[in-house]
Amino acid sequence: MDNSNVSNFIHDIIDEQKANGFTREIHTRFPPEPNAYIHIGSAKAIWINASTAEKYGGKFNLRYDDTNPTKEDEEYVRAILEDIRWLGFEPTGGVFYGSDYFDKCYEYAVKLIKDGKAYVCDLTPEQMREYRGTLTEPGKNSPWRDRSVEENLDLFERMKNGEFADGTHTLRAKIDMSSPNMNMRDPAIYRILHATHHRQGDKWCIYPLYDFAHPIQDALEGITHSCCSIEFENHRPLYDWVVENIGFDPAPHQYEFARLNMTYTSMSKRYLRQLVENGLVDGWDDPRMPTLRGLRRRGYTPSAIKDFLSRCGVSKAYSIVDIGLLEHCIRDELNRTAPRRMAVKDPIKLVITNYPEDKMEYFEIANDPQNDEPTKRRVAFSRELWVEREDFAETPPPKFFRLKPGGEVRLMGAYIVRCDEVVKNDAGEVTELRCTADLESGCGNPSDGRKIKGTIHWVDALTAVSATLREYGYLFTQPNVFDLPEGMSFLDVVDKNSVTVYPEAKLEACLADTPEGERFQFVRDGYFVRDPLPDTYNCIVGLRDTWAKAQSK
């Protein structure tokens, strides 16, 4: 990806720094927690950090924030790196783990204790919240704030050695309980947690808190620009306090950007996990999920996702992006790249009574009509075809230009046919349309000059491939999941009818044995991708671009 012409406020800062003599190599990082699959909001953070390093010839690190052993899993560790690489980025500075720095974090915690800047506190979590104060009232000092250095060192050592139960002690930074910034009111920097770590095993039963560990990790890796989402803006004074009081030089600096919010979607890992655990979706890679795994299975491409992120831009202001922009980006790409094919979702048999039973011929139909010199494929045609059930109406509404009793339509790229007879089953359902073809029309105009207003697609019945097609709506019925009426949960607005399955679809013969991940435009329906499930295709996006139409008004 060429980032030479891409700019944002972070790049403006770097340009100014360089103009003023900043000589360090630009070094960024992405620090995901390995407790879930990453989503398109994470992709924004990856894109900002990786593309910034790339633009300035620097390095980009992947560092797993694995400081909470109760939620982490090697499955997520592997998936995160795979997803970053699928997106088109490489951790050029290396792959690291926060847990690899536990020894250094402990060493620096001891330093703070010796400097009189940290103490062991016996307050329970409930008492700590009580002592913390409010946004309008200052907090109160802990009764254990003035313990001696010797006592704090002894207690912290005993915490490390496993002498105390979870929650009985914390190590807190000694800053200012009256600070207007709640994060500076003697925050906890270590807690006791007797849990087996996925990399460290049972070596540790105390773990550093993120706000303490993160700046240390940045400093040790030589990170220059620690770019994170805006919710960490109020944490920056604590970040700077840790860096300054440990004595890192040169020091990293934190920069914040607005996180990605998108309509009809949630970027909350907690919410997404509930969807998975409650069986409301078919796993983290469900094509309705905003995870990169879900988007990949849906058929989205890395280039379309990066195009979307670029169009969203980088700022500090809160916004919620119309999901239609994401759909526009993939639709715009696939309109240029996806070959056209015919597929019938809900088939009904069409028999051409005046066509020889033992005859088969081939029509040439364009694969890529958008190209200046489109290529063509040969499509089989015989007496029996499949057409869409919705392309026939026994009692048609006004301006219905598809198939109806006594009416004519063009079979796309082939003959004109007239519906002569409608065959029904005992339940009164239409099962077959018996038609006659204008066999002189071929794929040209009728010889008598009559106008045919309707064209429908079709699939030859003798050579058709059977498949399942899946079409998807949005996960939620409300555009903003975080702005719901009082008393309503996000689970109340999950659209339980957001998947439509067509289990008996019929496709062109050339779609037999299509590789997983291949994308096509099924004419008049939308763009589809071959799913990992056998003989299954997922709708990526429909043909109508309502977002682009709205922008043009």
Domain match, 180 and 239 both: yes
Q: What residues does 253 pair with on adjacent strands? A: 225
Domain match, 407 and 518 both: no
Confidence of residue 518 (pLDDT cuts 50, 70, 90): very high
Picking from 413, 437, 457, the residue at the C-terminal end of a domain is 457
Number of domains comprising the chain: 3
Query: What's the whole-number mean pLDDT along residues 171-186?
Result: 98
Domain match, 476 and 527 both: yes
Rounded to whole angstroms, how far apart are CA atoms 454 and 464?
Answer: 23
pLDDT in tens, 304-329: 999 999 999 999 999 999 999 999 99
Question: Residue type at 464?
Answer: A
pLDDT in tens, 345-371: 999 999 999 999 999 999 999 998 888
Q: What residues does 28 pair with on adjacent strands? A: 60
In degrees rounded to 5, what are phi and psi of residue 417?
Answer: -125, 150
Closest CA to 67 of 263, 259, 206, 238: 206
Rounded to whole angstroms, how far apart are CA atoms 539 and 553?
Answer: 28
**Residue of higher predicted confidence among 371 and 388:** 388
Domain match, 19 and 92 both: yes
Of the listed 33, 221, 388, 408, which one is catalytic?
Answer: 33
Closest CA to 355 of 479, 440, 453: 440
78 membership: H or E segment, kind and range: helix 74-87
Residue 362 DSSP symbol: E
Q: What residues does 460 pair with on adjacent strands? A: 385
Domain match, 354 and 435 both: yes
Active site residue 107: no
Angle at 297 between CA 228 and CA 89, to 5 degrees: 40
Of the listed 29, 63, 172, 269, which one is catalytic?
Answer: 269
Q: What residues does 434 pair with on adjacent strands? A: 351, 421
Q: How many CB atoms lie within 10 A of CB 243?
A: 21
- Confidence at residue 7, expressed as pLDDT on a 0 to 100 scale: 80
Picking from 397, 432, 457, the residue at the C-terminal end of a domain is 457
Picking from 257, 281, 310, the residue at the C-terminal end of a domain is 257
Of the listed 145, 259, 434, 524, which one is catalytic?
Answer: 259
Rounded to whole angstroms, how far apart are CA atoms 520 and 516?
Answer: 12
Rounded to whole angstroms, how far apart are CA atoms 384 and 411?
Answer: 13
Does 547 have pLDDT greater than 90? Answer: no
Active site residue 345: no
Looking at the domain assignment, is residue 263 inside a domain?
A: no
- CB distance 258 to 317 below 8 Å: yes
Active site residue 259: yes
What residues contact residue 321 under an 8 Å CB cut-off, 6+ apart?
260, 261, 262, 263, 312
Rounded to whole angstroms, how far apart are CA atoms 43 and 134?
Answer: 35
Structural domain that includes position 195: 9-257
Domain match, 48 and 156 both: yes
Give the predicted TM-score (pTM) of the model.
0.93
- Confidence at residue 4, expressed as pLDDT on a 0 to 100 scale: 45
CATH number for position 43? 3.40.50.620
pLDDT in tens, 185-196: 999 999 999 999
pLDDT in tens, 88-145: 999 999 999 999 999 999 999 999 999 999 999 999 999 999 999 999 999 999 999 9
- CB distance 343 to 525 below 8 Å: yes
